[in-house]
Amino acid sequence: MEETKINMPLLGDDFPELKVQTTHGPMNIPGDLKGQWFVLFSHPADFTPVCTTEFVAFQKRYDEFEKLGCKLIGMSIDQVFSHIKWIQWIKSELDIEIKFPIVAANDSVAMKLGMLHPGKGTNTVRAVFIVDPESKVRLIMYYPQEVGRNMDEVVRAVKALQISDEQGAVPAGWPENELIGDRIIIPPATNEAAANKRCEEYDCFDWWFCHKPLKK
């Protein structure tokens, strides 16, 4: 029996090329999204309670993602007609219009992303991939079927990645860190002379832990 190999990407890897069918038509991912951020998230199955709450929560934050220049893409193993019927149900019963595309993945696509839930057939785990404009994987989160995701954390993660690219590292719980609030952490000095000057140049707890105001 041929062994199925899972080649899931790691942080910093190129997001794997996927030719997929979606509720918005065929897509090449990440090719069609080159030059912009995107969040691809998988769900176990259409017409399930936890997944429905997640889709509503993502859609409620759709405008926030758009302001960040970040596209949303959903995905599961369900076929396109199931996705279409489900989002029609969400619209008619919950009065929420799902504006982002949903990928109808096959096992091959799911394997490329490590999305198949071990021991649970073809159900896909609750995975989140945040990908930057260079098509590099910047953040990966996996949740079990039984636990719905926190979409505010996904929004925060995109914001934090964009801020860190431009200004420096962000602390725990940013922008509401218990020690420095929304300030940005400065990389530690790499030589003794720089270390001796750090506390004169920045606000510091010590030379290896200095911070600066966030540029709005």
Return the active site residues.
51
Hey, which bits of the chain come out as E strands?
18-22, 25-29, 37-42, 70-76, 102-104, 126-131, 137-143, 184-186, 203-206, 209-212
Contact yes or no for 49/88 (Cβ under 8 A): no
Distance, CA of 18 to CA of 127 (rounded, Å):
16
Contact status, residue 157 vs residue 149, Cβ threshold 8 Å: no
Pull the structure tokens for residue 151. Answer: 């979409």
H or E element: which one contains 196?
helix 192-201
Positive or negative, the CA dihedral 141, 67, 33, 28 is positive
Element spanning 158, H or E: helix 151-166
Longest pairwise C-alpha distance within the chain: 66
The number of beta carbons lying within 10 Å of the beta carbon of residue 81 is: 11
